[in-house]
Amino acid sequence: MQYKYKKESDIQTTGCLVHYILTDGEHPYQATTPYSNDPLALFQNLRAGTFTLKCEERQQGIIGRMLCKSTEACPTIEECLQAITSFTHQADHNGVTNNSNNNGNKEIEPQISLSLDMSEEEEDIDDEPTEVDDEVAKKVITKKVVKTGMKTDENVLECSLKGVKVKMSSNTPHKRVYYKKNYCLYCEKPFGKVTRHLMRKHQDEVDIAKALAHKQGSTMCSFLLSKIRNKGKYIHNCSVKSARQGQMVPKRQTTYLLSATDFLPCYFCLAMYIRTDLWRHQRRCKLRPDGPVKRKVQTYCSFLLPMDHPVSDGLKKILEDMTYDAVTRRVKSNQLILSLGERMFLKNGEVGCHRADMRNKMRELTRLVLVARDLDKDTVFLKDLITPAKFNTVLAAVKKMTGFDHLTNRFAVPSTALKLRHSPMKV
């Protein structure tokens, strides 16, 4: 062979691959776009060491060194891994550079894998250390990665739940930190080893006595103690959400930041889970009874949390059939819309064919409030729109909601516009 294999060849290949991913298919040695139109020119640029970087400026330093022909300027594998793991994907790029060695790569904290902290079985282990300095835990929490994939209603309920935080995992990439504390059902205080606390301080309680009647360490004993532990955390989480201040403790701690609205309790075991994973848990929940389960899992379980305004059992059944999204959460927090639902239920609630109309009427008004909130930041509830001063805001919100075309003076959804003509008058 004319050329001898070196590890620098793998680094150069990796640099091409990383640049290809970051720029959505742009090859650093290409002469045309796409590069497959002129493969000969690409090969000539590769042999001459001429390349063009179209990634971000902060990424050009390490990639330029990886593509450089000089072995002295070639980075080590450790340097490549440390820099590449901090890159984020960008579809559009404006920075362009030639084969000059830029050393402007910034030092960025390594990311932490997005995974759950522990399984249900691992949480029951009580022979691990639980005490960690508060300063160390705070430093670890500040390095958490914010997950952006889950959609949250930031403009709906985030403002009212800013004081509520969710307990996150304190693990580091090289060390597992046992810092989670569960709340006692009877003391309402946090304990690192709540099972041991229950067995020593509350052995006279009926539920604790039933659990201790079984052999310690057996499946039934652990099952009953886990049920008591979940109920203690559920009561604590409900009090935190009612006070709109404090820290919620989920069943499994996450390594990424989530809001309080992303968690819901299980209807059977009362443990707090991420709402998008709640259906998966209920399929294997140990307390699930035999028989069919509600289809609208999230909406059904959301009524276990305290509501701002109480509703009747009849209206509650109607709300349970709604899809649990930002609109439904807004319906449950708006007093005027709930009062409208109560009046409609007293009039036609017993007739099954009218229940869908009642749900649609409440959701239409809620969607109108959400659209008006984007246009006018002073609008928070429906009562803020039912004033003569907000007539133009309501008109603009209806046009935006129904897809009004100013060129043709036509609505994309004319039926919704007609319904919204009369709905605010019924409130």
- What are the b/e assignments for 293-329, b being 16+ CB within 10 Å? eeeebbbbbbbebeeeeebeeebeebbbebebebbbb
**Mean pLDDT lowest for which of 51-60, 71-80, 153-162?**
153-162
pLDDT mean over 390-394 = 90
Burial of 147 (0-12, 13-18, 19+ CB in 10 A): middle
Per-residue model confidence (pLDDT) at position 97? 40
**Mean pLDDT lowest for which of 51-65, 135-149, 250-264?**
135-149
Confidence band of 143 (pLDDT split at 50, 70, 90): very low
Per-residue model confidence (pLDDT) at position 256? 84
The mean of the pLDDT values for the chain is 78
pLDDT mean over 282-307 = 86
Rounded-to-integer distance, Cα 415 and Cα 108, Å: 53
Give the position of tokens 């002129």.
38
Instruction: Give the pTM.
Output: 0.59
Per-residue model confidence (pLDDT) at position 110? 36
Using the predicted structure, report yes or no on whether residue 410 has a pLDDT greater than 60.
yes
**Mean pLDDT lowest for which of 160-164, 192-196, 250-254?**
160-164
Using the predicted structure, report yes or no on whether residue 426 has a pLDDT greater than 90.
no
pLDDT mean over 134-143 = 41
The phi, psi pair for 250, rounded to 5°, reads -80, 170
**Mean pLDDT lowest for which of 1-10, 193-202, 368-377?**
1-10
Using the predicted structure, report yes or no on whether residue 37 has a pLDDT greater than 90.
no
Using the predicted structure, report yes or no on whether residue 389 has a pLDDT greater than 70.
yes
Confidence band of 74 (pLDDT split at 50, 70, 90): confident
Using the predicted structure, report yes or no on whether residue 149 has a pLDDT greater than 80.
no
Per-residue model confidence (pLDDT) at position 105? 39
- Between 236 and 59, the more confident residue is 236
Rounded-to-integer distance, Cα 272 and Cα 236, Å: 11
Q: Which of 11-15, 86-90, 92-96, 155-159 has the highest mean pLDDT?
A: 11-15
Using the predicted structure, report yes or no on whether residue 147 has a pLDDT greater than 60.
no
Take residue 334 and report the two structure tokens written for it: 């708006």
Per-residue model confidence (pLDDT) at position 132? 40
Confidence band of 123 (pLDDT split at 50, 70, 90): very low
Per-residue model confidence (pLDDT) at position 236? 94
Question: Residue 145 gets which letter from DSSP?
Answer: E
| Chain centroid to CA 128 | 29
- Between 171 and 212, the more confident residue is 212
Confidence band of 148 (pLDDT split at 50, 70, 90): very low
